[in-house]
Structures are given as structure tokens and as C-alpha cells.
Amino acid sequence: MKKLFSLVLILCLLMSLCAFASAERAEAASFTVSSPAGAPGLALAVLAAQHPEQYTYVAAETITAEFSNAAADFIIAPLNAGAKLYRAGKSSYILAAVVSWGNLFIASQRENFDLKDINGTEITLFGENTINASVTLFSLKENGITPSKVNYLGSAANTQQLLLSDPEAIVLTAEPALTAARNKNEQITGYPVNDLYEKATGHIGFTQAGLFVRADLAETDRDAVDAFLKQAEEACGKCTTDVEAVAEAAVALELLPNVKVAMSAIPNCTIRYLSAQEAREEVERTANIDLTQFGGEVPADDFYYGAK
């Protein structure tokens, strides 16, 4: 009888734990998320495909407006933009995790194109006065590569057009724009900026995009936030362990045009989840490349979720 009673007690406990876990996951799933429609949006694509009504995708150039709107519970955005706005008192969002570590490529359709070809010639980057441009120029310089002139266009889509139209152009582009361009012209060669960055610093990737959480939510619903972040970490992990699932989700969400492009582009987007506390050293490393992109200083303690 005692054994039977103990067994029933254990079963009840297990059922309670399962119910609690299910409730916790359901509560976490109810959060709203704003994200750019580009590569960083892939980080949580498998979650967004399951709960599309809770995810809003906007043009990359308008994502910073989401901070002032403060409507979403979480925002995926350029990390430096989030840090700069927070420092200026124009954002109530703190960094929960880094999810994107660089999707930049230097590309050309020149025959036998080599990065050394940049020396003494023009290169066209996208996004003047952005962290992407700063990291690219830093990485080139540290590897002894000096262009004669640097031109700028507004977006990776713009440099993709130049890449396709000018056989001599050397441009900075990004995934998935590079894969789309290669599908139209297989002569295009692309070199990851991350490779240059690693040679310069010894570190793999820079802190390009972060997952931000509203600070008041982090204080009042800590358990639910932590539960959501576990789901976010799992979703990011699928960008390397289950690319097909992410590709199908990205196509369903209309983030990418088809599964073929998605399967090629996703591995080059360098999606990787690292909590804010664990990523702090890398955030500061990126910030010190161009502090103006971070508001003049590295982020303070209270910018990082989980700070004591």
C-alpha cells in the first residue's frame, strides 16, 4: 500500500511539473517580437512560423523605430543601434542575447577575383556610417588591404544590383543577397568578412544583431522571459542543426523566396545564440572598433539582461 501511495505521489508530482512546464512554455510563446525581414530575422524563424500572429517583420532600415514605439516585447535589431539608443535614453530595451555574428561578403564577378585585387582600386560598401562598414574597413586594414576609394550605397540590395550589372565592380554585400546574385551569375566570387575579421582578431564573427527585451518585462516576468529565451536559443540552434526546417519556415514567412536559396544562404548568415552576459566581451570588442556606433562608449552594466 505504501508503495502504491508513493507511486501515485510521484505520478502526481510529474504531472504537476509537466503542467507547469507546459504553462510556462505557453506563456513564453505569447510574447510579441519585431524583427528585420533580412538575415537576423532567420534566428527565430521556426518560432515565428509556429506563432505568426506574434511576429512582425519590417524593413531593416525601419527596425530602430521599433525601440521608440516600445510595442513589442522583444526586438531583433543591429546590436550597436540598440546600445546607442539605450545609452541616449531613447530605448527601454536591454540586450538579452546576441543572435547574429556577421553575414557580410566582399564580392565581384571579376575573373579569378582575389581580395588583394582591392588594393589600389575602388570598392563599394553599403550603409555609410554603420557598424557593418566599420567592421569591413577595419578587417581590410588589419589584413593589409587598402582600396584607393570607398563608395557607399544604401543597402545590400543596392550593392547586389551593382555586382550584377558591373563586371569590374567590387562590393560589400550580404546573405541572402549574395546567394540570390550567384543564382543569376555563377561567376560571382564572394569572400566572408568574418574570415578577415578572424585573422585580425582571432575571434569568429562580430556582434552584429541582438535580441532585446523590454526592461520592465525583464523585471516583472523574469521566469517567462527566461523560458522564451530557452526557446530562442533552440530556434537559433536549428540554423546549424536543422537548416531545412529553418529554410521552410523562412519561405513560409516570405523572408526568403524559395527553399533552394534559403538552404544555401542560411549557413552563411552566422546565426548563433549567446546570452548577453556571455557575449559581453565580444560586444565590447565590436564596440571598440568604432565607438561612435555605440554612442561613444561601451555599454554599461545595466544594458545586459541578467546583470546583478
Render the chain in DSSP notation, one character per residue: -HHHHHHHHHHHHHHHHHHHHHHHHHHHHT--EEEESSGGGGGGHHHHHHSGGGEEEE-GGGTTHHHHH--SSEEEEEHHHHHHHHHTT---EEEEEEEE---EEEEE-STT--GGGGTTSEEEEESTTSHHHHHHHHHHHHTT---SEEEEESSHHHHHHHHHH-TT-EEEEETTHHHHHHHH-TT-EEEEHHHHHHHHHS-S----EEEEEEHHHHHH-HHHHHHHHHHHHHHHHHHHH-HHHHHHHHHHTTSSS-HHHHHHHGGGG-EEEEEHHHHHHHHHHHHTT-GGGGTTSPPPGGGBTT--
Does some domain include residue 23? no
Same domain, 277 and 231: yes
- Whether residue 3 is contained in a domain is answered as no
The pLDDT score that the predictor gives to residue 60 is 84
pLDDT at 20: 40
Do 117 and 146 sit in the same domain of this protein?
Answer: yes
Inter-residue contact 116 to 279 (CB < 8 Å): no
Domain tally for the chain? 2
- Residue 91, all three cell numbers: 530605448
Distance CA 265, CA 247 (A): 9
| Same domain? 169 vs 292 | no
- Domain residues for 111? 104-201
Residue 88 covered by a domain: yes
Q: Tell me whether residue 10 is in a domain.
A: no
Spans of the chain below 50 pLDDT: 1-27
Do 220 and 237 lie in one domain? The reply is yes
The verdict on residue 66 lying in a domain is yes
- Contact assessment for residue 103 and residue 266, using Cβ atoms and an 8 Å cutoff: no
Same domain for 82 and 97? yes
Residue finishing a domain among 140, 170, 201: 201
> Which residues lie below 8 Å from residue 202, measured CB to CB, with a gap of 6+?
none
Question: In the listed set 175, 201, 227, which residue is the last one of a domain according to the structure?
Answer: 201
Tell me if 4 is assigned to some domain. Answer: no
Residues 68 and 138 placed together within one structural domain of the fold: no
* 96, 108: one domain: no
Per-residue pLDDT tens for 90-127? 999 999 999 999 999 999 999 999 999 999 999 999 99
Q: Is the residue at 5 inside a domain?
A: no
The reply to whether 184 and 219 lie within a common domain is no
pLDDT of residue 180: 92
Residues 69, 191 within the same domain: no
116 and 58 share a domain?
Answer: no
CA 253: distance to chain centroid? 17
What is the four-CA torsion angle of 124, 262, 204, 86, rounded to 10 degrees? 80
- Long-range CB pairs of 59-68 (<8 Å, 24+ gap) are 60/36, 60/155, 61/154, 61/155, 63/34, 63/35, 63/36, 66/34, 67/91, 67/92, 67/93, 67/212
Question: Which residue, 150, 174, 201, sits at the end of a domain?
Answer: 201
Statement to judge: residues 112 and 196 lie in one domain: yes
CATH number of 55's domain: 3.40.190.10
- Is 137 among the domain residues? yes
Strand partners, 274: 98
Taking a C-beta distance cutoff of 8 angstroms, is the pair 109, 181 a contact?
A: no
Q: Same structural domain for residues 217 and 257?
A: yes
